[in-house]
Structure 1
C-alpha cells in the first residue's frame, strides 16, 4: 500500500467527496460522482470511468490505489492492477471514515481540520434547529417504482444531519424500521405512507430508477398529508443529496438548516 498515493481511482461514487474534502483529487471516478453538482468545481482533469467501470478502463489510468466496495465484481482483477481498499458501505460513520482516508493519503491533519470545523458549525446551529423544530417529527421519503423508501440516519439524503447531528426525531414507525433496525432505510407501500410521515418531510425522486415520482406526489394520499398541506415539504437534490460525504454534507447543511428554521 503506497504511503501517499498520487493516482487514486474511486469506483464507488460515494467516497469521492471524502478525498476532495482533504485536497486529494482522484484521477478517475464513477459517472455518479461526476454528476454530483456539489463536486462540479473540484473535478478539473478528473476522468470518468463510467457507471460500471471495467478493469481495462481503470488500467488505462495507471492507478497506484483503487477504492471500491467490499464484494465488488472482479476485485481480484483490480488487485492485479494496483493495491485495493475495499470498503463496507456504512460500517464507519462519515467522520471516522474521513479520518481513515486522511491516514491512507497522508492528509490526516486536513481530515481532522474538517471534522473540527464541522463540529463547530453543528454546535452553533443545533440549539437553533432544536428550538425551531421542537417536538415535530421529520421524515425522509423518496418515491420509487414500487412505493417509497424511508431513509434514516446513515444512508444519505440528509439523515446524518437531521437525525445524527441535530438529534431530531423520526415518526415511531420510521424510527423502528429505518433507524433502530440499523439498516438506514426501509421500503413501504403508498398505503402505509401516513404511518411513516412526520410533521416535516424531506423528499426527492429516487435516482436509482426511471419511475415517475408523480405517481406519489400527485396521489391523494400524499396530498392529504398534514406536512404537505402546511407546506412543510422540502425537495432534496437527487444527484447530490443522496451522497453523505463531507463535501455533500456541507452543501446539504445549509439547505436543511434553512428549511428547518423556516417551519412555523
Structure 2
C-alpha cells in the first residue's frame, strides 16, 4: 500500500503541441539548468555546491541571479540556481521545510493549504491542485521544481525548469532540512533552526521522561479496514514522540513498525491490543471517508487500558501527516503537555 503517491496523469498530444509553442515563445528566458537525461538513480540525495559560470548579468540583476550550482538529487546531478527565487514544490509533505528556511514556494499542492500550521505562512503561493501538471506549473514561471521520485510527468516538467526529485523518508527531518538548506543556499538558516529545536527538546525531554516513566506510547489511526500504527519516521508526531522525547512503543509496534524501518503497519481490530500502548495518540485517517466511530466505538477499542484511563489524545487530522519543521514546532508543546498529563 502506498500512502503518499500522486495520481497518474496522461498528457494528450495537443498539450505537448501547446507547450512546444509556449516554450519556443519564451526561448529568451530558457533555464540555465542542464537536465539529466540518464534516468533516475537510487542514491540518497546529497548536495554539492559546485558553481557553474554564469553569463553576463543583465542590468539591475543581482550578481548571482543567473549563477548555478550542481545539486546531487535522487534523479542525478542537476544544475539549479544558486539562489532560486520561484520554487514550485509538488511534494506537499515537504513544503514546511522550505518555510522553515524562510523560502515561500510560488506553487504548492492543495492539501498543504488546508494545514492549520502551514496555510498562514503561504500567502501568495498558488495551488497546484492535488498534482502538479505542466499547464499550471508553466504559468508560475518557476526557476526550480521539487518533486518526489516517481511522480508522473517529470520529463515534461523538466522542459520548464530544473527538476530535483527527493526520495521520501530517505533522510530524517534534520538531514532533509540541511539538504534543502544546500539546495536553496540557506544552510545557515537550517543550522539555526536545528540548534533552536534541540534546545527546546533538551528542556522538555527530562520532564516528559520523568512523568511518563515506563508507560508505552502508540500512534493509531482508524481507517475503513482497521487501523494504521505509525512509528518514528512517518509523521503523526512520531519523530517527536519516539526519536526526540525517547518514548517507548509497545513491543509488537517496536518490532514491526520501528525496527523494521517501514514506519507504519496496517492492523486489525483483533490484533489492536498488541499494538496499543498505555498512552495513545490518534486521529481519523484522512485517506478515506470511513467513519472513525467504527473503531472508536468498538468494544475492543473501548476496552483498551489507555482509553479507560483517559490517556487518548487527538491529533489534528488536517496536519498530522506532515513531519516538516514548521508542523513539528507547532505539535511539540501539545504532545509534551499530553504526555505530562497522562495518568
TM-score tier after normalising by the smaller chain length: over 0.9
Deviations 1:201-237 (A, max 9, x none): 0000001111111100011110010100000000000
Task: Measure, in 1, the Cα distance between the counterparts of 2:256 and 2:139.
Answer: 44
Tell me the residue number matched to 2:210: 131
| Bigger shift: residues 101-110 or 111-120 | 101-110
Tell me the residue number matched to 1:5: 84
Task: Measure, in 1, the Cα distance between the counterparts of 2:154 and 2:252.
Answer: 38
Task: Provide the secondary structure at the position in 2 that maps to 1:19.
Answer: helix
Shift, 1:40, TM fit: 2.6
Q: Could you tell me which of 195, 214, 234 is aligned with 2:293? A: 214
Tell me the residue number matched to 2:164: 85
Gaps of 5+ in 2: 1-79
Tell me which stretches of 4 or more aligned residues in structure 1 moved more than 6 Å. Answer: none
Q: Is 1:96–2:175 an aligned residue pair?
A: yes
Task: Measure, in 2, the Cα distance between the counterparts of 1:13 and 1:119.
Answer: 25
Tell me the residue number matched to 1:27: 106
Q: Is 1:147–2:226 an aligned residue pair?
A: yes
Q: Could you tell me which of 300, 303, 328 is aligned with 1:249? A: 328
Tell me the residue number matched to 1:14: 93
Shift, 1:53, TM fit: 2.3
Task: Measure, in 2, the Cα distance between the counterparts of 1:51 and 1:65.
Answer: 19
Shift, 1:60, TM fit: 0.8
Shift, 1:100, TM fit: 0.8
Q: Is 1:169–2:224 an aligned residue pair?
A: no
| Bigger shift: residues 2-11 or 50-59 | 50-59
Tell me the residue number matched to 2:187: 108
> Superposition RMSD on alpha carbons, in Å?
0.7
Tell me the residue number matched to 1:225: 304
Counterparts of residues 157-196 of structure 1 (less than 5 Å): 157-196=236-275
Task: Measure, in 2, the Cα distance between the counterparts of 1:189 and 1:10.
Answer: 35
Task: Measure, in 2, the Cα distance between the counterparts of 1:156 and 1:189.
Answer: 21
Deviations 1:32-81 (A, max 9, x none): 11111101321111111001221211111111111100111111111111
| Greater C-alpha Rg | 2
Aligned pairs, how many?
264
Q: Is 1:119–2:218 an aligned residue pair?
A: no
Task: Measure, in 2, the Cα distance between the counterparts of 1:53 and 1:189.
Answer: 35
TM-score w.r.t. the length of structure 2 is 0.76
Task: Provide the secondary structure at the position in 1 that maps to 2:81.
Answer: coil
The answer on whether the counterparts of 2:221 and 2:283 sit within 8 Å (CA) in structure 1 is yes
The answer on whether the counterparts of 2:112 and 2:119 sit within 8 Å (CA) in structure 1 is no
Task: Measure, in 2, the Cα distance between the counterparts of 1:123 and 1:168.
Answer: 14
Task: Measure, in 1, the Cα distance between the counterparts of 2:83 and 2:104.
Answer: 12
Q: Give the structure with the larger helix fraction.
A: 1
Task: Measure, in 2, the Cα distance between the counterparts of 1:148 and 1:134.
Answer: 26
TM-score w.r.t. the length of structure 1 is 0.99
Task: Provide the secondary structure at the position in 2 that maps to 1:207.
Answer: coil
Task: Provide the secondary structure at the position in 2 that maps to 1:5.
Answer: coil
Tell me the residue number matched to 2:66: none
Task: Measure, in 1, the Cα distance between the counterparts of 2:249 and 2:214.
Answer: 10
Deviations 1:153-197 (A, max 9, x none): 000000001100011110001111110110100000111101100
Task: Provide the secondary structure at the position in 1 that maps to 2:117.
Answer: helix
